[in-house]
Structure 1
């Protein structure tokens, strides 16, 4: 099966896991980055950011032009677009002549945009142009089927298992996260407010430099910020060595009752998931045995007090969640196999 993936392929990008997973199914994979030039332009100057606010199509046009030039004369069994933020609906219509199947996997809500960059008209106006749509949340799948009359399937997020022997609990060496609570993620004001309200001393924060520059008056965040983001084995080691990892869900996930990438990455790498209580997460991991859930800061603080004095419980949760991930096939290798099977059914 010859497949073209359109998306982002930087460090930690979801697309990379599907590249590896589809390669494991012996698919013939090509990739084309539809985000790098756009975000690169925005990073070069403030003027570009201002123009983007007014007319982002200025930066989308060359990406669409280059994509059509790249694909000219080629044929694919399937083209998979990840989100499609920079791709015009008219371009998608043209892509159909180069492939048997055109589908989309969107790791955000496709028509309700909760934050800047989570979606735009390109994403919303293209939903019914695809042969089928893929989303991470059951409620979104239901809405797409009802509102757009488009075939839609749910493939949840997962964790990277490509370098694991899948047999023994991971032996990551100790690092600075040992014995601490961990928060991993880019800065935003809601996350900062959550950590300030938590007022937890034994915490370490990993993420972009805004955690420092946007929190000059927050002593807790200033003293807890590690000064960097985490990737690959460093990311896994911090999760595994910590007392637990806070997964403060965004508003969209709370409203959907859904989950995010961290939902599976934390337990998949041998850590304790500490997250808002949602329907999907409760289905994925059993409360207090495979994950810790909370509805408010006060409940979370009480649970942290308990866990601090019951290290044996922390270790039991780590092992139980790690085993659940493997028993329930939560890895991206299995998620990719689900996608591959859907593609195969449509290509028959």
Structure 2
């Protein structure tokens, strides 16, 4: 595997496609990027996110962008194409890319739910075509296989130690910090309401001010933060809070690694996947409802030595799960599939 083509939305720092590009380059591969945003900027206009407009316009625009993708692939001749979130890739393009090499997909959203930003007819038609599919939930692995995916694998997110590292303040300004946008389920509101009387740091979109219905949280958000600001923000708190979106409740999210990678104690909503990734009360602390969250915050703040020991153990675990580890896993699978394909060809020849 010498050449890797990575297909994704954009190359902003910290985006999955950008992180994996750095990972494959460090692995020794020649990497070429293709981004839908550069190929078809109109697909990202605000008006297109209206459900009606999206249904009418996305396929014609995406077909033009798919031709640009195939032109790049024909020039680059990749051994492996890795597609990050396949919402815009035509199933015919998957087949065309397979003329050059294997084609893998990493589903960063849940492709078997009904949300139009996660799935569509092309995503569903592509299930049977991928050489391998990765996703962040073991339960969703089983559902992908049930939907016709030939090879599906649990593939956790990872630590990006180039940008996320300890930056602890000697005197943290916050007891608890949460980085995350307001969510229409209002679950995040209810959790934060339970600890609003502590020193709570909040970063996220302006929806926290315009849509949040909890008076105690109004005006608390300090706005969006950049990917590079995460270590400083988490370092300003004793505890880093992780509240899952509904779509991630069957697995985990990128915050799972961002928090412990900064040597900050992760206090996270509990999920089976998360508990298996970071051992409960040893490498992270978990809660399942607002009352338990409040109890855990109170107990931890009364036991600073426990915060320090769990944060240190979580940090060590985070260092065992970097982009280098994830790329190695993909490379090993690539070799296995190539070996199996070559063996089948030899058996047919015999």
Q: What TM-score, normalized by structure 1, do the two folds share?
A: 0.86
Deviates more, 1:263-272 or 1:43-52: 43-52
SS at match of 2:222: coil
Q: Counterparts of 1:60 and 1:51 in 2: how far apart (Å)?
A: 14
Q: How does 1:26-175 map to 2 (within 5 A)?
A: 26-35=28-37, 40-41=41-42, 44=45, 46=47, 49=50, 51-97=53-99, 99-113=100-114, 115-148=115-148, 150-162=150-162, 172=167, 174=169
- Structure having greater relative contact order (Cα 8 Å, sep ≥ 6): 1
Q: Counterparts of 1:230 and 1:314 in 2: how far apart (Å)?
A: 26
Q: How does 1:1-348 map to 2 (within 5 A)?
A: 1-8=2-9, 9-35=11-37, 40-41=41-42, 44=45, 46=47, 49=50, 51-97=53-99, 99-113=100-114, 115-148=115-148, 150-162=150-162, 172=167, 174=169, 178-189=173-184, 190-195=186-191, 197-201=193-197, 202-215=199-212, 218-232=214-228, 234-254=229-249, 256=250, 258-326=251-319, 329-348=320-339
Q: Counterparts of 1:116 and 1:272 in 2: how far apart (Å)?
A: 35
Unaligned runs of 5+ in 2: 340-350
Q: Counterparts of 1:228 and 1:175 in 2: how far apart (Å)?
A: 24
Q: Is the 8 Å Cα contact of residues 4 and 80 (structure 2) preserved in structure 1?
A: yes
Distance change >3 Å, CA 219–CA 116, structure 1 → 2: farther
Question: What is the CA-CA distance between 1:59 and the residue it aligns to?
Answer: 3.3
Q: Counterparts of 1:119 and 1:4 in 2: how far apart (Å)?
A: 22
Listed one character per residue, the Cα deviations across residues 289-326 of structure 1 (whole Å, up to 9, x for unaligned) are 21111111111111111122222222222112112223
Q: Counterparts of 1:78 and 1:171 in 2: how far apart (Å)?
A: 34
Unaligned runs of 5+ in 1: 165-169
Distance change >3 Å, CA 138–CA 218, structure 1 → 2: closer
Listed one character per residue, the Cα deviations across residues 95-153 of structure 1 (whole Å, up to 9, x for unaligned) are 222x221111111222224x452222222221111112112222222333344150122
Distance change >3 Å, CA 145–CA 292, structure 1 → 2: same
Q: Is the 8 Å Cα contact of residues 173 and 236 (structure 2) preserved in structure 1?
A: yes
Q: What TM-score, normalized by structure 2, do the two folds share?
A: 0.86
Deviates more, 1:205-214 or 1:191-200: 191-200
Question: What is the CA-CA distance between 1:197 and the residue it aligns to?
Answer: 3.5
Question: What is the CA-CA distance between 1:7 and the residue it aligns to?
Answer: 0.6
